[in-house]
Amino acid sequence: MNSTGVVLIACASVVLIAIVVIYNKLVGLRNKVKEAFATMDVYLKKRFDLIPNLVAVVKGYASHEALTLEKLTGIRSNANGMGEQLNSESQITSALQKIMVVVEAYPQLKADKQFLELQQQLMQLEEDIASSRRYYNGSVREMNNACQTFPSNIFANIFGFKPMPMFEATIDERKNVEVNV
């Protein structure tokens, strides 16, 4: 075999190894995003499971808010897929903020032991959710960078890897919560 053949085989081997490495990196990043979403979803489900208890306690004090509370319990069950779930969680966060505004109008509710325990659990869950959202967005950033930077963007397009959606606060979530007592 002549030296030109050896050089061509070496170059082809390097290119093949680079393709395998980039592909494996993209698969790993996609799996990391899925894992980050699943972690966030666990906390969101815990929050969703806590909502009926919170709603039941608040209903006892604020029966005229029943429509808002019932809407809250139906939001997540209608979400299918990652994008819809992210959107439904934004709606739940907004509805929970409205409930907390309602609570401000009922001093006896704010002193209720069961409500205080539920509120503490909800606060801890919200911290866990915020942390998991940061992890999810960091994972998505890494994936999107790999899909959009050279040379991995070439192979991302060839193999069908696409940028993934970040979790973003809605316009309503960015507004200050008004407490009118």
Spell out the domain ranges in the chain.
Answer: 3-174
Q: 109 is written with which tokens?
A: 């509710």
- Asked if pLDDT for residue 83 goes beyond 80, the answer is no
Give burial (CB, 10 Å; 0-12/13-18/19+) of 140. buried
What is the rounded CA–CA span in Å between residue 68 and residue 55?
10
The whole-number pLDDT of residue 70 equals 66
The whole-number pLDDT of residue 19 equals 95
Share of the chain above pLDDT 90, in %: 45
CA nearest to 104, candidates 181, 26, 160, 3: 181
Angle at 158 between CA 155 and CA 163, to 5 degrees: 75
The whole-number pLDDT of residue 50 equals 86
Q: Which CATH architecture has domain 3-174?
A: Up-down Bundle (1.20)
For residue 111, give the DSSP letter: T
Q: 138 is written with which tokens?
A: 């960091």
What is the three-class DSSP state of 89?
helix
Q: What is the mean pLDDT of residues 151-158?
A: 95
What is the rounded CA–CA span in Å between residue 175 and residue 160?
38
Residue pair 53/118 in contact by the 8 Å Cβ criterion: yes
- Asked if pLDDT for residue 63 goes beyond 80, the answer is no
